Chains A and B, each alone.
Chain A
Amino acid sequence: MLTKEDIAKRIAKEVKDRYYVNLGIGIPTLVANFVPDGIDVEFQSENGVLGMGPFPFEGEEDADIINAGKQTITTLPGASFFDSAFSFGMIRSKKVDLTILGAMEVAENGDIANWKIPGKMVKGMGGAMDLVASAENIIVAMMHVNRAGESKILKRCTLPLTGVGCVKKVVTELAVLEVTTKGFKLLERAPGVTVEQIIAATEAELIIEGEIPEMVIA
């Protein structure tokens, strides 16, 4: 079973040279720490910055330079700032190559729900609806089951949707799944996790073809 850091490490392998990448809050933010050497990427944050760098050194925080998670950040050489309309313009016009975000539920048709639990939790969708509606390449980073032990990988989402038919890949502590036109295809399993364990933790049907390799986390 993977830790949250391991999930981020596995997703980092999906980041290719010369990609512009938008990272959501939570596990996705960690992906920036594990991008392999020799790969040039720029991280976009939808509040208006391209070329995000690491957190600032203590004492060098600037309240005017934050990411979409409201965390203090730094910028790297070549960075730029822009307004919110422009930021979502570059997202809608597909300049951003890869979007990595968290979710409460993902369905086998690629639907995603991550912004509202009616009557309980209403935080808002932030930029997630814009991102999932426009991005071509969307990877979801999340835990396979919720705190109640219920599968978050479903035939159909039960929570209010964030977007329809948009998720391409899901990486959890148990597995890597690809969303195909026929449903979830099991691509990889976490080290030490069996295919049976993954099936048991998943509400949706899984397409399983041949031997399923273990993920390589490094």
Chain B
Amino acid sequence: MINKKVNNVQEALQGIENGMTIMLGGFGLCGIPENSIAELVQKETRDLTCISNNAGVDEFGLGLLLKKHQIKKMISSYVGENAEFERQMLSGELDVELTPQGTLAEKCRAAQAGIPAFFTPAGFGTEVAEGKETREFNGKMHVMELAYKADFAIVKAWKGDEAGNLIFKGTARNFNACMAGAAKITIAEVEHLLPVGSLDPNEIHIPGIMVQRIFKGDNFEKRIEQRTVRKK
């Protein structure tokens, strides 16, 4: 067994420097690496390029980094829930690259899978395709998209073991499973960090080879963005 365990979030985030490109998992606030985001705020790392489907909300998730002006560029598919984000974007303080969600996911997966580029029909005929190579396959137009290049990927999983194997829960799998192994160094923040042998190899979603550092996160708040219920 190759042990990937580090003792805490500080150790896990070592080497993240100003100006780096970081992937962060999560959809909305679901499955975000809460402890790592809090530590990045603490470290005051600046000029970050963040690849993440969303940008958090004003007081949580990546919104915390935005508030402190630590993000230079945001690559996302949907940023609708964050007033500070919208303000920084419209004033030009924040550089924003909006990317169709499936394309964003595949650009992560391509990096994870060692594929430099791929063609997708998403965005053809729209401003997303401007300046990009297009090609017809089977009578339909496609846009060439490149794999992301990132320094760090920070993902959040439900369970992990010291070998770096990961299991996600529910829809918190989202981009976490696509980003694991898609950067030079992948950091996994998990709710439950177990000794090797505790996880059934049949049930592992991401094998440990994709993860360089794993640590147990504390006090997950797991904030709900839209609490919708029905009466009993």
The chain A residues found within 8 Å of chain B, CB to CB, are 45-49, 54-73, 81-85, 87-88, 91-92, 111, 119, 122-130, 133-134, 160-165
Contacts and interface: CB of A to CB of B under 8 A. Distances in A.
A83 B178 contact: yes
Given A70-B225, A87-B105, A124 B98 contact: yes
B68 interface: no
Nearest to B178: A85
Interface size band for B: 35 or more
23 contacts: A47-B174, A55-B228, A55-B229, A57-B229, A58-B231, A59-B229, A61-B228, A63-B224, A64-B170, A68-B27, A70-B30, A70-B226, A71-B228, A72-B224, A72-B226, A84-B104, A88-B101, A88-B102, A124-B78, A129-B126, A133-B121, A160-B126, A162-B126
B232 to A, nearest CB: 5
Contacts of B29: 63, 70
Interface in B78-113: 78-81, 86, 89-90, 96, 98, 100-106, 108-109
A119 B86 CA distance: 11
B175 interface: yes
A48 B101 contact: no
B31 interface: yes
A70 B53 CA distance: 13
Nearest to A65: B170
Interface of B: 27-31, 53, 76-81, 86, 89-90, 96, 98, 100-106, 108-109, 120-128, 158, 168-178, 205, 222-232
A123 B81 CA distance: 8
Given A81-B170, A81-B173, A83-B175, A72 B228 contact: yes
Query: Would you call the interface of chain A mostly helix, strand, loop, or mixed?
Result: loop
Q: Which 7 A-B pairs have the closest CB atoms?
A: A88-B102, A130-B102, A123-B80, A164-B125, A83-B177, A63-B222, A129-B100
B232 A58 contact: yes
A47 B175 CA distance: 9
A72 B224 CA distance: 8
A83 B113 CA distance: 15
Contacts of B78: 123-126
A28 to B, nearest CB: 15
Nearest to A91: B102
